[in-house]
């Protein structure tokens, strides 16, 4: 083998003989960039298409659905909470109810010890009888006065006859002037006495007219006292003014209670409504009769309701301490207005009762035709009224039993 001696020329030849790097790599770099840019543009295009589709879907949703509905979860069930109070004081001797118990209208709830009230009624009965008998004595006096008038009339006739005879005798000179004056004086006395008796009879008849016994002041006062005692005795029994569920019971057996003391609350869950607190910006289009879908947080069931009315003021303005926006720095806060939604009774019957105070998600449909809502109805209970027919019958019996007796 020949050993080549490396010279300058050999080195240059060797370098020339080395293969040169292929220029293809540098030539493909711009194409790769174009591919990457194309892919990025494609992704952006797809993203924009997706956004456009979402926008179209949302726009269609708003046009077809969203603009016709008002939604809030600031809504709560409310109802009439009938607070039962005592009308008279005393000790509780019987209790027939407990919390969460359902009661019917007119059901007996509790009884107050009536011993003192029975005694008061007995005293009133005696006083009424006494007043009637006193009236009867006035009537008897009137009869006696009438007899006295008849006697005085007879005496007057005799005095007139005597005076006529004495006057004729005096004119004939048969009697003295003294006798004549005495006869004349007796006549005047008889006239005066008769007039006094007639006046006394007139007054006695006015006071003792048997047809006006109920108008006599003493009898009227006794009747009023009897009614007061009778009513108080009836009020020792406490009844339910309407059907509902017992809540907040605060009365116990043997407890001493006073008049007007709160004993319990009755809530009628068959007649509840929802107070939906809508933002003032949501009220456009909301009107009475609009249908609403109500979803209860308790059972997740859907109830149907109807807008009954809008509050006359915002929650802030009707609060115990209204906001004072005229002083200090002012920051605008969107106010909320309570909207009352009555729950359909068939819906309540189907899905079950919901307690007052529970949360509701309310969606009001302002696009549908409104329903005619029944006007607000006045509620009343005759359980607090005393049966005057029975009471007056007993009064008449007392009067009949005592009239004519003295």
pLDDT category at 50 given cuts 50, 70, 90 is confident
Judge if pTM exceeds 0.75.
no
| DSSP assignment of 28-61 | HHHHHHHHHHHHHHHHHHHHHHHHHHHHHHHHHH
How far is it, in rounded angstroms, from Cα 270 to Cα 155?
Answer: 85
Average pLDDT, the chain: 84
Q: Which helix (H) or strand (E) holds 395?
A: helix 388-402
The predicted-structure confidence for 221-259, as pLDDT tens digits, reads as follows 999 999 999 999 999 999 999 999 999 999 999 999 999
The rounded Cα 374 to chain-centroid distance in angstroms is 18
- Output the pLDDT for position 164: 87
Domain boundaries, the chain: 116-235
Burial letters 120-154, b for 16+ CB under 10 A, else e: bbeebbebbbebbeebbebbebbeebeebbeebee
- Output the pLDDT for position 11: 46
The predicted-structure confidence for 287-343, as pLDDT tens digits, reads as follows 999 999 999 999 999 999 999 999 988 877 777 777 766 666 777 888 899 999 999
Q: Among 43-52, 83-92, 99-108, 230-239, whose mean pLDDT is lowest?
A: 43-52
Whether the Cβ atoms of residue 290 and residue 370 lie closer than 8 Å to each other: yes
| DSSP assignment of 213-248 | GGGSHHHHHHHHHHHHHHHHHHTTEEE-SS-EEEES
- Output the pLDDT for position 187: 87
Q: How many other β-carbons are positioned within 10 Å of the β-carbon of residue 399?
A: 19
DSSP character at residue 280: G
Pairing of strands 90-95, 244-247: unpaired
Whether the Cβ atoms of residue 135 and residue 403 lie closer than 8 Å to each other: yes
Pairing of strands 90-95, 256-257: antiparallel
Q: How many other β-carbons are positioned within 10 Å of the β-carbon of residue 195?
A: 13
Question: Whose CA is closest to 292, among 280, 279, 278?
Answer: 278
């Amino acid at each position: 083998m020949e050993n080549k001696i490396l010279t300058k020329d050999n080195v240059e030849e060797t370098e020339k003989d080395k293969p040169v790097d292929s220029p293809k790599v540098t030539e493909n770099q711009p194409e790769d960039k174009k591919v990457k840019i194309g892919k990025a543009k494609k992704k952006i295009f797809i993203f924009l298409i997706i956004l456009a589709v979402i926008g179209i879907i949302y726009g269609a949703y708003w046009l077809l659905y969203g603009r016709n509905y008002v939604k809030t979860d600031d809504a709560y069930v409310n109802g009439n909470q009938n607070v039962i109070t005592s009308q008279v004081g005393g000790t509780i001797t019987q209790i027939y109810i407990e919390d969460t118990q359902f009661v019917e209208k007119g059901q007996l709830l509790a009884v107050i010890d009536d011993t003192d009230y029975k005694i008061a009624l007995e005293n009133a009965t005696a006083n009424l009888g006494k007043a009637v008998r006193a009236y009867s004595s006035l009537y008897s006096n009137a009869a006696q006065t009438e007899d006295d008038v008849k006697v005085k009339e007879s005496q007057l006739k005799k005095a007139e006859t005597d005076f006529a005879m004495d006057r004729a005798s005096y004119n004939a000179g048969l009697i003295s002037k003294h006798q004549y004056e005495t006869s004349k004086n007796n006549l005047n006395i008889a006239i005066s006495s008769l007039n006094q008796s007639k006046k006394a009879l007139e007054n006695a008849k006015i006071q003792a007219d048997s047809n006006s016994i109920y108008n006599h002041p003493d009898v009227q006062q006794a009747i009023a006292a009897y009614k007061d005692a009778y009513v108080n005795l009836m009020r020792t029994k406490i009844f339910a003014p309407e059907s509902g569920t017992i809540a907040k019971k605060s009365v116990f057996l043997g407890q001493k209670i006073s008049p007007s003391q709160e004993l319990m609350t009755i809530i009628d869950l068959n007649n509840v409504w929802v107070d939906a607190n809508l933002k003032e910006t949501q009220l456009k289009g909301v009107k009475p009769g609009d249908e609403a879908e109500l979803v209860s947080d308790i059972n997740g069931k859907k109830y149907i309701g109807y807008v009954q009315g809008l509050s006359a003021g915002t929650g802030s303005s009707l609060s115990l301490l209204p906001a004072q926006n005229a002083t200090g720095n002012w920051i605008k806060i969107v106010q909320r207005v309570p909207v009352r939604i009555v729950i359909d009774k068939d819906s309540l019957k189907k899905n079950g009762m919901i307690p007052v105070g529970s949360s509701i998600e309310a969606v009001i449909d302002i696009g549908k035709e409104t329903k005619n809502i029944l006007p607000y109805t006045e509620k009343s209970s005759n359980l607090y009224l005393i049966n005057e027919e029975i009471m007056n019958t007993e009064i008449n019996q007392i009067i009949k039993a005592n009239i004519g007796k003295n």
